[in-house]
Each structure stands twice: as C-alpha cells, then as structure tokens.
Amino acid sequence: MNFQLTEEQAAVQAAAREFAQTELLPGVIDRDEDQIFPAEQVKKMGELGFLGMMTSPAYGGGGMDTVSYVLAMEELSKVDASASVVMSVNNSLVCWGLEKYGTEEQKKKYLTPLAKGEIIGAFCLSEPEAGSDATSQRTTAEDKGDHYLINGTKNWITNGGTASVYLVIAQTHVEKGHKGINAIIVEKGTPGFVVGKKENKLGIRGSDTHSLMFTDVKVPKENRIGEDGFGFTFAMNVLNGGRIGIAAQALGIASGAYELAVKYSKERKAFGKPISQHQGIQFKLADMATKIEAARLLCLQAASLKDAHQDYAKAGAMAKLFASQVAMEVTVEAVQVHGGYGFVKEYHVERLMRDAKITQIYEGTSEIQKIVISREVLK
C-alpha cells in the first residue's frame, strides 16, 4: 500500500483548499442563514473543473481519478457542504452515470456541458413513498412508441431548481417490478415539468432541494439511458459511486469542525491556561483525530478500489456509514469544545453539526448501508 499522494493529487487538494478558503468561506454563514444557493461559487467551481473531475477530457472533463475527487470533496466540505453536494451530485450521480451508460449522442448533448460546469444536473430517485425502498417507484414513464409520458412526483432532489438536466427514475412496466424501471433524461422547461418550493432544511440550507412534479411530460425515446428496464440497475450502480462522494463530504465536515476545535482550544483560556492544556480537551481532540483518520482511510480505500476497477460496493458503503457517523460525533464534540461560543453561528461549528446529519440520510441511510455491507459479507 502506498499512502503517498501523487503530485497531481496533492495539487488538486491544495487547489480545493485554497478555493474553499477564498471563495466559499466568505458569506457562508449568511448563505446558510438565508438559504441562498451558492450560484456564483458553483459557477467558479465549474470553471475550475470541479464539476466534471472524473469525466473524460473527450467530454469536457478533467479525467482525474476518484482519489483526487475525494481529496477535493473533503476540502470543500470543510467549509461549505451546500456547495460540495452540488459537486458530488454532478460528478458521481450525473456525469459518471452518463459517461458509463449513456449513448454517444447523450454524452455529446448532455455530458459535455455538465462536465464543463456550463450547466448542472440532478438525480431524481426519491419519492414520497420510495426513499430507502427505491423499488417502489410510483412515478411512471408510459411507453408511447417513440416517446415516454412521465407522470409522478420526486422528493428531496438536490439541485432541483437550478439543474438543467434531470435523470429521472420511473416505472414503465409495473408487472416486472424493479426490472421494469427506466432512467430517462428530462430537460428543464419541458411542458408539464414543474419545480416545487425549496425545502426549509436543518442543514445544507444553501443547497437547492426541491420536489418535482411531472404531468404528462413528453420525452423522446432516445433520452432513455440503457436498455428498457435498466433503470433500477443504473440507479444502484450510480449510487455505489455516489456514496464515496458523500463519505468524503462527511469526512470534510468532520475535518473542518476538528480544525476549528483545535484552533479554538489553543486560543481560549480557562483556569489560567489554554484549554488545549487541559486533559479533558486533549482527550476529546485525540478521539476526534483518530476517528477522522480512520474515516479518511476508508474513503481513500473505496476510491482506490474504484480507480482500480475492482468491486467497491462494500468499501463505499463502509466509508459512508462510518464517515457519516464520525461527522456527527466530531461536530457535536467540536461544539462542546467551543462551549457557549459553539452554540452561536459566527463560530461555524453549529452549522457543521447541522450539516453533518444529512450525510447519514441521503444517498442511502446508514441502515441501508448496513444492508449493503451485510449482503456483501454474507455472499
């Protein structure tokens, strides 16, 4: 095993860290407070190549490895998880899925502008009655010969109002169950496609989360991804990689809170000395650092397996399960280290604590990750 980053990987990490500090940090508290989508920052992320990192240069992407993607996700998530989730969805769920399974025409028309960051995408799986049970799709895509007619509702869609391209998972053949599901590309502005109000959330409040409504939305047959009935397999395969991105996001949230706690502990004095010299605080920092390092190794292992074209389903699920748990534990302790100051917004750690919770829920809850892991270990 080689734990040393390559020059390219280290450069990506440094660039992401600088971007996070200079572009994301200013105004991050206000964006959270007022639920403002970081449009200007996301535009710059696209210009710098962060929205299509793993996509082939042939389609406008950076052609980078998954390890570089994880490193960048961690750095951005230390500061603004609302911005980093845009990067995660666009890279892991939308661009990767289109490049892996899309037709050449779909790649030229949709993947290229997505990878260049000229537009952003959304992945539409969850529904009012189909969250963890993704097989229970109520959204339908009725086969009309040369086109599909989509009807239904999608919930909790990241980039729901700002995306231009939506990958919609819908049921075509009810009698076939999950084998009758399709993945269909829907463009914003298609008649009958309506974006609902933005959700008022606990965390990642700057993220653009909406419900989507489809009423007789006509989409050409050539917008289907893969063969008829491939949609559920497409969604599960895409989510296997998406978990690595969310694991890296959780890692970044934890790392950001930990770094703030270390800094504060050296500045804050109690009983005549910095609180970092009190054993109670030292032990907290030691536990936080150890958990973060373990989560980081799990994330990098999953990314390395993906880059080596090996089975990474179990590793990705383990990374997300553990990193999201660490994110919650570390951010809570970071607030505790800050004491009363940790409870006010200007010190950032309360926001990171709120942001951490979603990493245990989206792209498969922690309970779903345990199902995936147990299924793999019992094979």
Closest CA to 110 of 17, 224, 257: 224
Contacts of 23 (CB under 8 A, 6+ apart): 41, 44
CB-based contact 150:140 (threshold 8 Å): yes
33 is a catalytic site residue: no
- What is the rounded CA–CA span in Å between residue 193 and residue 150? 9
Catalytic residue among 74, 75, 333, 363: 363
CA 177 to chain centre: 28
Sign of CA dihedral 289, 290, 291, 294: positive
**Got the DSSP string for 305-337?**
HHHTT---HHHHHHHHHHHHHHHHHHHHHHHHH
For residues 279, 280, 285, 290, the Cα torsion angle rounded to the nearest 10 degrees is 90
- What is the rounded CA–CA span in Å between residue 244 and residue 312? 9
**Annotated active-site positions, please?**
363
